[in-house]
């Protein structure tokens, strides 16, 4: 992955958290009223449209939110290109509806779901998480989704299921970054694949995500469905997922295949384990100037450290 400098955003431009929440509660109320009688009969909400969700206070950080403008203009989405502004520029090529997600592998109830149905299986929650990119920048994002654990329990993994593999759409017509050309020097073998251990996938922090900032996921942020695990580097959160497969062997992830010495399977945020080409001790929150200290497990140590008890995290990076 390349390091690029975050756009300079004055702290004053960061949305005041309380102001945002007040505005959100008001808008959710209006939206709920407008949608209530005909919700199930409505057509699919296209990206950018309002997506009402109740805030889950237990999973809501009080840090100032990163402005929506930064979250949608400074992205990593190599299917759309290697530069931070490629995704916003090319996002219109991705068609997130209709969209299906295949759920298969070692489960009692394999099924192909329409994303609209998937989105309504469980109540949507808003959760404010930190996202820490392996490149050294971070954001604070109000995601909308529900725990992946709810879906996992529904499809009933068998005793053979030890890992969960996530696969992103492979379609060069929608993703110019997947086209083969002399100028396309990406080292990623498509499709983008990520994975979690089953206990990580079942952790209450792991969010199956359909929206952010009160709206359906913008295409550049992984519409129509992505995964978010806030204690891991951002590249673990695969975007635009078409398949969730339960497997017995540890999946070979896209970045591991591309550069195994740099990107391991676990990818837990860890200030003590540097990337071979740069330190991970500090990070730059988008919109701030002074660097912050990187927090172990991105600040979620009290919730996730037990998952790794007894493991050598220098080796399992």
| Shortest separation between residue 242's beta carbon and ligand MTE, angstroms | 10
Closer Cβ to ligand MTE, 206 or 240, answer by number: 240
Q: Which stretch binds ligand MTE (CB under 6 A): 58-66, 229-237, 242-250, 264-272?
A: 229-237
| Shortest separation between residue 182's beta carbon and ligand MTE, angstroms | 21
| Positions 70 through 99 that interact with ligand MTE (CB under 6 A) | 75-79
| Shortest separation between residue 42's beta carbon and ligand MTE, angstroms | 26
237 among the known binding-site residues?
yes
Selected binder of ligand MTE within 192, 210, 266, 317 (CB under 6 A): 192
168 among the known binding-site residues?
yes
Helix (H) or strand (E) holding 150: helix 148-155
Is residue 143 part of the contact set for ligand MTE (CB under 6 A)?
A: no
Is residue 116 part of the contact set for ligand MTE (CB under 6 A)?
A: no
Is residue 130 part of the contact set for ligand MTE (CB under 6 A)?
A: no
Q: Which residue is nearest to ligand MTE (CB)?
A: 234
Q: How far apart are the C-alpha atoms of 94 and 84, rounded to whole Å? A: 17
Distance between start and end Cα atoms, the chain? 16
**The residue to which tokens 């209709």 are assigned:** 98
In terms of Cα–Cα distance, which of 241, 225, 292, 235 is closest to 268?
235
226 among the known binding-site residues?
yes
Q: How far apart are the C-alpha atoms of 191 and 54, rounded to whole Å? A: 33
Selected binder of ligand MTE within 88, 94, 238, 244 (CB under 6 A): 238
Is residue 268 part of the contact set for ligand MTE (CB under 6 A)?
A: no
Q: How far apart are the C-alpha atoms of 298 and 295, rounded to whole Å? A: 5
| Shortest separation between residue 115's beta carbon and ligand MTE, angstroms | 16
CA distances from 105 to 14, 134, 160, 206, 239 (A): 43, 30, 9, 20, 20
> Virtual CA dihedral for 147, 244, 91, 207, nearest 10 degrees?
10
Q: Which stretch binds ligand MTE (CB under 6 A): 7-15, 21-29, 108-116, 235-243?
A: 235-243
Selected binder of ligand MTE within 15, 70, 206, 237 (CB under 6 A): 237
Q: Are strands 292-293 and 282-285 parallel, antiparallel or unpaired?
A: antiparallel
Is residue 9 part of the contact set for ligand MTE (CB under 6 A)?
A: no
Cβ–Cβ under 8 Å, residues 235 and 150: no
Question: Is residue 130 classed as helix, strand or coil in its secondary structure?
Answer: strand
Selected binder of ligand MTE within 130, 203, 232, 239 (CB under 6 A): 239
- Tell how many helices (H) and how many strands (E) occur in the chain: 8, 13
Cβ–Cβ under 8 Å, residues 223 and 79: no
Closer Cβ to ligand MTE, 106 or 213, answer by number: 213
Q: Which residues are annotated as a binding site for Mo-molybdopterin?
A: 75, 78-79, 133, 168, 226, 237-239
Return residues touching ligand MTE (CB under 6 A): 1, 75-79, 131, 133, 168, 192, 221-222, 234-235, 237-240
């Amino acid at each position: 992955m390349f390091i690029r400098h975050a756009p300079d955003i004055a702290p004053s431009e960061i949305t005041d958290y309380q102001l945002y929440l007040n505005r959100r509660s008001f808008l959710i109320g209006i939206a709920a009223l407008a949608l209530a009688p005909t919700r199930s009969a409505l057509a699919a909400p296209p990206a950018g449209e309002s997506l009402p969700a109740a805030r889950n206070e237990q999973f809501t950080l009080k840090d100032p939110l990163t402005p929506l403008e930064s979250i949608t203009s400074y992205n990593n989405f190599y299917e759309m290109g290697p530069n931070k502004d490629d995704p916003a520029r090319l996002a219109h090529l991705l068609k997130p509806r209709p969209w299906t997600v295949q759920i298969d592998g070692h489960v009692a109830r394999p099924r192909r779901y329409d994303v609209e149905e998937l989105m309504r299986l469980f109540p949507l929650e808003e959760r404010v998480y930190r996202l820490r990119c392996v490149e050294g920048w971070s954001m604070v994002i109000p995601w909308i989704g529900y725990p992946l654990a709810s879906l996992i329990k529904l499809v009933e993994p068998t005793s053979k299921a030890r890992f969960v593999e996530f696969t992103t759409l492979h379609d060069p017509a929608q993703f110019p970054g997947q086209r083969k050309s002399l100028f396309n020097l990406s080292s990623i073998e498509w499709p983008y694949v990520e994975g979690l251990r089953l206990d990580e996938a079942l952790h209450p922090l792991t969010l199956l995500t359909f929206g952010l900032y009160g709206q359906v996921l913008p295409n550049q942020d992984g519409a129509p469905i992505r995964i978010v695990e806030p204690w891991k580097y951002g590249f673990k959160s695969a975007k635009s997922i078409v398949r969730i497969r339960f497997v017995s062997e540890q999946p070979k992830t896209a970045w591991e295949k591309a550069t195994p010495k740099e990107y391991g399977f676990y990818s837990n945020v860890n200030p003590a384990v540097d990337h071979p080409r740069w330190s991970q001790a500090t990070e730059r929150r988008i919109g701030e100037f002074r660097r912050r200290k990187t927090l172990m497990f991105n600040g979620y140590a009290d919730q996730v450290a037990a998952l790794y008890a007894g493991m050598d995290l220098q080796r399992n990076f």
